Amino acid sequence: MSGPAIITPETRRLIDTPMKVGESPTWDDGTGDLWFVDILAPAAMCLRSGGRIDRYDMPAAIGCLALCESGDVAVALQSGVHILDPKTGSLKLLCDPDSGRPDSRLNDGKVGPDGHFWVGTRDEAVPQTGNARLYRVSPDGTFSCVADGLKTSNGLAWSPDGRRMYHSDSTWQFLQAFDFDPATGAIGEALKLRDFTSEEGRPDGGATDAECFYWSAGVSAGCLNRLSPEGEIIEIYKLPVSAPTMPCFGGPDLKTLYVTSLESDRSGRLQAGTLLAFEAPVAGTPVHRFAL
């Protein structure tokens, strides 16, 4: 049986400012803006459609962000989920699902088809103890823990019909899927789709396309892996950065792939984190907005 197709896309770098840990690229289909974060700066940033970059410095490490229906932006900080007003830069605390637990911070997150903000945590203990969780945050600030016993919750994405949720653990290096009810946010039992090797690419952030395939940032292998719904890697997109962290689809036809990366010397020279783009062979699945 033949292996996955290996593809080297023609990429372009979109920013000159170096990042420590670029993450959470998020396309705004209403404005043509692209939001992303630098976890350790810590800052939320927006690449405006006209090319200007707006920077919003944060008071604590920022794991991810999500667009709200109101035009505000939900930001997941180590100190909780806050609502950012992009016009003023002001922050308002919505809730703190992690409740200040030691050796923990909010990490990857995305809004689901249910209009709720799903946010995972990273176990910051050395060595890691398995204290990471996945939370479901409601627009009214209430929240629930839907999974625990993790090390680095990551890779959230939903199928085009909203009836399947993907989730990975970057430290355990597996990808799993859950049946998902778009109306209630209820999930079924976890189905493990794949255990990754570091050579294949430790699974970081993820996105889904219109053909029901899942794209995983192989942060240890300098690539994006495109996986079938059964968990088979069918295409490997080799990138000019050694540590890509998360893909997202954008552009007017959702056929531009944006990819963040983190600072790394894995290639033998120090590479700063950056933001790349390339044209994808298929359109992506639109990301939902927080119902707030």
Binding residues: 23, 105, 107, 154, 204
Cα–Cα distance, 23 to 261 (Å, whole number): 7
**285 located within any domain:** no
pLDDT band at 265 (very low <50, low <70, confident <90, very high): confident
**46 located within any domain:** yes
3-13: per-residue pLDDT in tens? Answer: 999 999 999 99
pLDDT band at 262 (very low <50, low <70, confident <90, very high): very high
User: Distance of CA 190 to CAs 148, 175, 178, 255, Å?
Assistant: 12, 10, 5, 30
Order of all β-strands in the sheet with 191-195: 153-158, 164-169, 174-179, 191-195
**291 located within any domain:** no
Q: What is the pLDDT of residue 2?
A: 77
pLDDT band at 250 (very low <50, low <70, confident <90, very high): very high
Q: What DSSP element (H or E) covers 158? A: strand 153-158
Cα–Cα distance, 75 to 117 (Å, whole number): 10
- Burial of residue 211 (number of CB atoms within 10 Å: 0-12, 13-18, 19+): middle
Provide the whole-model pTM.
Answer: 0.96
Percent of the chain with pLDDT over 70: 100
Q: What is the pLDDT of residue 269?
A: 82
**284 located within any domain:** no
Of 155-159, 222-226, 253-257, 266-270, the least confident? 266-270
What is the domain-level CATH number for residue 120?
2.120.10.30
**Adjacent-strand bridge partners of 68:** 290
Domain that holds residue 154: 5-279
7-35: per-residue pLDDT in tens? Answer: 999 999 999 999 999 999 999 999 999 99
**16 located within any domain:** yes
Catalytic sites, residue numbers: 204
State whether residue 5 is helix, strand or coil. strand
pLDDT band at 131 (very low <50, low <70, confident <90, very high): very high
> Which of these, 227, 284, 275, 276, lies nearest to 255 by C-alpha position?
284
pLDDT over threshold 70, residue 225: yes
Q: Show the tokens assigned to 210.
A: 């219109």
Binding residues for substrate: 105, 107
**Average pLDDT for 247-266:** 96
State whether residue 8 is helix, strand or coil. coil
pLDDT over threshold 70, residue 1: no
Cα–Cα distance, 192 to 14 (Å, whole number): 35
Q: Show the tokens assigned to 22.
A: 């670029």
Number of structural domains the chain divides into:
1
**201 located within any domain:** yes
DSSP track, 218-276: ETTTTEEEEE-TTS-EEEEEE-SSS-EEEEEEESTTS-EEEEEEB-B-TTSS-B-B-EE
**245 located within any domain:** yes
**170 located within any domain:** yes
